[in-house]
Structures are given as structure tokens and as C-alpha cells.
Amino acid sequence: MSTILELQGVTKAYDQYTVVDNFNLQVTMGELRCLLGPNGAGKTTTMDLITGRQKMTSGKVIFNGRNISGMTEHRIVQQGIGRKFQIPAVFKDLTVRDNLQVAFTRTTNPFMNMVEFGRGGGRARLQEVVELVGLEKRLDELGGNLSHGETQWLEIGMVLTQNPKLLLMDEPTAGMTEQETQKTSEIFNRLKGEHTLIVVEHDMTFVREIADIITLMHLGKTLAEGPMDEVENNPKVREVYLGTEGISDAA
């Protein structure tokens, strides 16, 4: 099993306040890692540091054997790291199919879109992606008519058109119904293996269904790491969530 992503002593400090503190992480190719921890633990910042959205104070990020520290956001995407943001990226007045096509070719110019789509093997990839995110029956629907869950799945699909080796998602099930969350876990389990995923999530039922390994962050550091059952029963973890129902209260 080979490592696809490695964080070595990654640190982000604002003045005297250290948000991500000498943080180390190793993710194996094809695994689904859940990043947990209370609010302010440094989860989103860690994703920002991996994707180059924020600059590290110190440390190193190795992706696919390559040091990507200090690369621009754009170049990091080109290395094969995709990210789904919480801010909606779907065009409301385009169909699901057209949204995916635009994501694939990265142009809204209809002519260029057609040319690039034909050249890049778009049709086959689009079909694959549509099946992965389960939107086969919604291809002709306008983006604006999708439910909250469907919008999230379309966005995941849009990131997938670029075929990222590593996919980062911050709270993907936020605002979803129980049924939508269930379907999302099925999608993630389909993505595993072919893609490596890092998912920040609070819904412990969901985490239990998708996670291979959990990394629990606290104050910018790893508090515990391992399979769900192990982390849950770790006394240090119980201490952090003292006075609460336990890990499932992590918000």
C-alpha cells in the first residue's frame, strides 16, 4: 500500500496563535480518511493548506511523491487534487448535463465547449461520473430545480469530471436529509479505491459507514488516529469531549 499524501510538520500560525500545529498526516492511496474534531480544531485550514488556498507558515506537503508545498492553487489542481466547496458552484439555468460538460471543459463558451468535449473523451467520462453520483435520471433537469442533496451530488460530479486522484470535501452532508446522507455514503463507497478521499464530517452515523481511518484533530494537532472503534474508546478523546455525549457531539 503506497502513500499518496503526506503532511510533514505542517504549521499555520497567525501572530502568536497557532491554528495548525506541526501536523503530520499520511493517507494511503484509495482510502477514505475522515477528519474529525471540535469546531476550530483546524480541519478547514488543513484543507486550505493542502490545496494551496492558504500559505503554510512551515512544513511540507508531499503528494504523489512530489513536494507541492508553495505551489499555486491552480497547479495543485493540475497535480490531481480536487476539492468540493460548500459554496454552490452549480449553474442554476443550465441542465445537469450542461453543468457537467462545462466542468469537464472548463469553458462556458458553447462552441469551445463542444470542441473540447469531443476532443477530451468527454462523453464517456460524463457517463461514468453520472453513474458514480447517481444522477442518471436527472440529466435534463435544470440545476436550479435540483434538491439540496442532488445539488451536492452534482457538485461532486463536477469535481470528478477532472478525475482527481485525491478529493477533499468539507462537511458534504451538511443540510441533507437522512435519506440523502444515506445515498451520499453509497456514493463515497463507490468512489473509494479509484479515488482517495479526505472528508471532514460531524455526522457519526455517516462517518461509521464511510471511514477507513479517522484522524481526530484538536488544537491543530492529532489527538487520536485509527479505526472508528479504537478512536471512540480512546480515553484522550473522551476527555476532550468531557461532559458531552462523546465523539458524536463534535460540532
Residues that bind ligand ADP (CB under 6 A): 14, 17, 19, 37, 39-45
- CB-nearer residue toward ligand ADP: 16 or 72: 16
Distance in Å, CB of 57 to ligand ADP, minimum: 12
For residue 32, the partner it binds in Mg ion, ligand ADP, none, with Cβ less than 5 to 8 A by kind, is none
Closest CA to 34 of 242, 226, 191: 226
Q: Least CB distance from residue 35 to ligand ADP, whole Å?
A: 8
Q: Which is nearer to ligand ADP, 18 or 185 (CB)?
A: 18
Q: What is the DSSP string of 135-203?
A: -GGGTTSBGGGS-HHHHHHHHHHHHHTT--SEEEEESTTTT--HHHHHHHHHHHHHHBTTBEEEEE---
Number of other residues whose CB lies within 10 A of the CB of residue 248: 15
Question: Given the complex with Mg ion, which of 43 and 84 has the nearer CB atom?
Answer: 43
The interface partner of residue 237, options being Mg ion, ligand ADP, none and the CB cut-off 5 to 8 Å by kind, is: none
Q: Answer yes or no whether residue 54 interacts with Mg ion by CB under 5 A.
A: no
Distance in Å, CB of 117 to ligand ADP, minimum = 36
CA 249 distance to own-chain centroid = 21
Q: Which is nearer to ligand ADP, 49 or 176 (CB)?
A: 49
CA dihedral in degrees (136, 137, 138, 141; nearest 10)? 140
- Residue 49's nearest CA partner among 203, 207, 168 is 168
Name which of 41 and 176 has its Cβ closer to ligand ADP: 41
Residues 102, 89 contacting (CB under 8 angstroms)? no
Residue selected from 18, 44, 54, 248 as contacting Mg ion according to rule CB under 5 A: 44
| Contact call for residues 138 and 96 (beta carbons, < 8 A) | yes
> Could you list the residues that contact Mg ion (CB under 5 A)?
43-44
